[in-house]
Structure 1
């Protein structure tokens, strides 16, 4: 079940659903200085409701800036002491390049689709020792 949440008066939406123990948060549109605070607030609200294992689905993102990257790092830091996990989905080379330029491409686990990311149920904290470098 996808629950859309409006966070930007433009065309951007944020929705979430659960799959195999994961909370999949789907973001569409631009993740920038205007939309990032709304995304952060929505995910923090989910954390406050008890959600701990997240897949941030960026497959529908058309633009990501440094504020968007900072928001993802801030959410990761907030999840870590609560034994949480955060996986990212994105297959768009332009968006992945932003992570590379920001030095974050190797510290997150990326999947091509939410179905691929949620194939295995979460076990323990996926953020122990974060940031760990993936090769």
Structure 2
């Protein structure tokens, strides 16, 4: 997982690329990194274009990151969900918790003033 900061909308937005599998073996790593990322910004896009699998632990980690961002008056938006990953969000009703976008640029642009969800 990697994070880069995007300032194209006038806000500092952390764009994290989540790759491979997010499951019980590595979801703790995301939960450990996220508080450090929160020191840089409270607005995030998780680019899931390279995420091929997620289990309940991975889903819990992403929901935990959302909760922490919201506690800091921020938000976390998802982009580029693979159909299999999207199905997990849909079946668990977690899809209702997130703003989900077709691509990262659309998700980043959604943070522009007047377009906050």
- TM-score norm. by structure 2 comes to 0.86
* Further displaced range: 76-85 or 58-67: 76-85
Counterpart for residue 76 of structure 2: 86
Higher RCO (Cα < 8 Å, 6 or more apart): 2
Q: TM-score, normalised by structure 1?
A: 0.75
User: What is the CA–CA distance in structure 1 between the aligned matches of 2:74 and 2:112, rounded to whole Å?
Assistant: 9
Distance 1:121 1:99, change over 3 A: closer
**Offset of residue 90 of structure 1:** 2.3
The reply to whether residue 64 of structure 1 matches residue 54 of structure 2 is yes
More helix by percentage: 2
Structure with higher Rg: it is 1
Alignment partner of 1:28 is 2:28: no
For residue 123 of structure 1, report the CA deviation from its aligned partner. Answer: 4.7
Q: Structure 1 residues 79, 91: closer, same or farther in 2, change over 3 A?
A: closer
SS across alignment from 2:19: strand
Give 4+ residue runs of structure 1 displaced > 2 Å after superposition: 120-124
Q: What are structure 1's unaligned runs of at least 5 residues?
A: 1-13, 128-135
Are positions 1:114 and 2:104 aligned together? yes
3-state SS of paired residue (2:45)? strand
Aligned length in residues? 112
CA RMSD, Structure 1 to Structure 2 (Å):
1.8
- Name the SS for the 1:118 alignment partner: helix
